[in-house]
Every structure is written in structure tokens, then in C-alpha cells.
Amino acid sequence: MPSLLEIDVVQPAGFRPLSLDLRTPEAAGAPLVVFLHGGGWLRGSRKVFTPGISDEQSFDRIVAAGFAVASCEYRLSGEAHFPAQLDDVDAAIDWLQRHGGEHGVDASRLVLWGVSAGATLAALTGLRRTDVRGVVDWFGPADLFTMAEHNMGEVPADTREARWLGAPAADLQGAARLASPALQVHSGAPPFHISHGTADEHVPFAQSEALAAALSAAGVDVELHPVEGGKHFWQGLENTDPVFDRAIDFVSRVTREPAHLIG
């Protein structure tokens, strides 16, 4: 069984303390996966990798492959609007870089892995920082303007994206652009691994297509894996092992070399 530590990381002024769960393999010097949960920025927990998928199939599977996993909390949209969540992710990464070595973690070999809303945060963080080896993006919203056109029967002000921003994207165009990974791509971005179900009704597959196209156009190392028949949170898949295996293979590839051998 992997070692599991619950760690208080930061308490933003006026908000609750934010924590992370750190799972580590037996071998010291493990590369680090920073995991960000889904839930539309309005719900979710660091305790759940993906609804319906057990710890043994997710967190423990990644640790068994030789990686440490830090599952991090961030403020939800009922607590704070964008970009507060990016500050929370930065605080978690900064803590891990300062203290990871005390727990056998090599935080210089860092990959971000997010699902749904957490994938958006992972992508944005990877695009903002220079110390990220790669990003695993599972079915994350990539363009908040086109997401606003995806009608799920909600009034515009009540969508997940509008609640995160504080208003519909059309009313906060500057913030919506900054919160859209597909619109923040640049040539210095780290490698991306994107997986998305073709039958996803909550976040259309076209979102990941747009992000992959933007990354490719910028010359960034990107792999896009359509998962035929897959729905949101991989509902409809009898076996999620292949999607985990592909992502773990990517993490292994981008973290293979120690930091002093890169470049």
C-alpha cells in the first residue's frame, strides 16, 4: 500500500485552510503528479480521483507505477472566483517544491493531471509556469466562449463556467479568455496528453480538439486520444485501464530524465 499523508498547505486570507493528500511509493526520489479534481469548480473533493473509479484503480495505480501523487484542494466557485484557484494550485506546488524532498518526492519532475474542471486548472497552470514537465488533461473545458454555446438547459448566469468567472463569458471577456487554455497556448508550453470521450455530453469532445489544434499549431508536443463511446468521467467504459495506462506512459516519458539532464 502507498504511504498517505494529509497535509495543510495554505490558508488564504479570509478562507478555509487548503490541504493536499500525498501518496508516495516506497522508493525515494519519485517523480510527482499533482492531481486536480473535477466538479465544475463548484463541487468535488481531493479524495475522489474520478466518480465511480476506486482509489485502487486510480491513485494507487499511479503510485504503483513509481510516481508520487499529491491530490490538491482549491477554492470552489462558491468561495472565490477565477483566478483564485490558480493561486491555490501555485501554493500547493510551491509547498511541494520546498518540502517534497522530506517525503521522498522529486518535485523537479512535476506533471499536472486534472479531470474536467481540474483539467482546465492543470492546463492553465502548465501554460503559466516554466517548471512543469507535462500536463494530463482529461476532458477539460478549453474555451469558455464556446462552452457558453453548449446549452445544457441552464440560464447563462447559472452555468459552471459563469459561476467560476462570476458572470457569463460574454460579460467578462478578458477573464474568460485568460481562463480558456486553448486561448492561452504558446510555443513554450510543456507537452500535453489529452484524453476525451467522444460521447461526452457535459464537455464536448470539440473542446479537446480545439486545445490540441492550438498546441499543435504552436509547435507543442501534444497527443490527443479520442475515447470512443466514453462519456464524462469515463461513464460508459467497462474498463478504464487503457486510459490510465496511456496517461501513465506519458507521465513516465516526460519525467524520465532528472532535471539536471534536461536541456
Is 45 among the domain residues? yes
Residue 138 inside a domain? The answer is yes
- Mean pLDDT in residue range 23-42: 97
Label residue 153 by pLDDT band (50, 70, 90).
confident
Domains in the chain: how many in total? 1
pLDDT category at 263 given cuts 50, 70, 90 is very low
Whether residue 156 has a cis bond before it, omega within 30° of 0: no
**C-beta separation of 45 from 10 below 8 A:** no
Binned at pLDDT 50, 70 and 90, residue 166 comes out as: very high
What is the model's pLDDT at position 260? 47
Q: What is the CATH classification number for the domain harbouring 29? A: 3.40.50.1820
User: Is 148 contained in some domain?
Assistant: yes
Residue 54: inside a domain, yes or no?
A: yes
User: Are residues 200 and 231 in contact, defined by beta-carbon separation less than 8 angstroms?
Assistant: yes
Task: Please name every residue paired with 6 in a beta bridge, in sequence order, or none if there are none.
Answer: 21
Q: Which domain holds residue 30?
A: 3-258
Which pTM was predicted? Answer: 0.96
Quick: pLDDT tens for 40-49. Answer: 999 999 999 9
CA 167 from centre of chain:
23
Cα distance between residue 207 and residue 213, in whole Å: 10
Question: Cβ neighbours of residue 137 under 8 Å, at least 6 residues apart?
Answer: 114, 119, 122, 123, 181, 192, 193, 194, 195, 208, 211
The answer to whether residue 161 scores a pLDDT higher than 90 is: yes
Burial class (CB in 10 A: 0-12, 13-18, 19+), 66: middle
Residue 116 lies in a domain: yes
Burial of 12 (0-12, 13-18, 19+ CB in 10 A): middle
In this prediction, residue 230 carries a pLDDT of: 96
Is there a domain that residue 263 lies in?
A: no
Q: Please list, in sequence order, all residues whose beta carbon lies within 8 angstroms of the beta carbon of residue 102, skipping any fewer than 6 positions away.
A: none
Q: Which three cell numbers stand for residue 207?
A: 473542446
